[in-house]
Amino acid sequence: MRMFGEATAKHLGVLLNIPPCENQNDLLRELGKISFVDGSILSVFHKLRRTGNLAVHEYHNDLNDAQTD
């Protein structure tokens, strides 16, 4: 899911002419500056990013995290 979120956000960035960013958080920050990008969508991207970071960096293994709210 994290990779899907990253790919989708990058695609949005390309469509909206946002220059490539150093990391996903920077890209999401740039997307948030665009008035018509819905905050709830950004929240989902951030949740995927944070949960993915936990999984990668802390060897988090919880299948419930794979589900969306």
* Of 52 and 56, the one with more pLDDT: 52
Q: Looking at residues 43-64, what average pLDDT do you find?
A: 77
* Of 10 and 63, the one with more pLDDT: 10
pLDDT digit string (tens) for 7-44? 999 999 999 999 999 999 999 999 999 999 999 999 99
| Angle 27-39-56 from CA coordinates, rounded to 5° | 50
* Residue 13 structure tokens: 């960035």
Distance, CA of 33 to CA of 62 (rounded, Å): 33
Flag whether pLDDT at 68 surpasses 60.
no
Distances (CA, A) of 42 to 1, 60, 67: 15, 23, 17
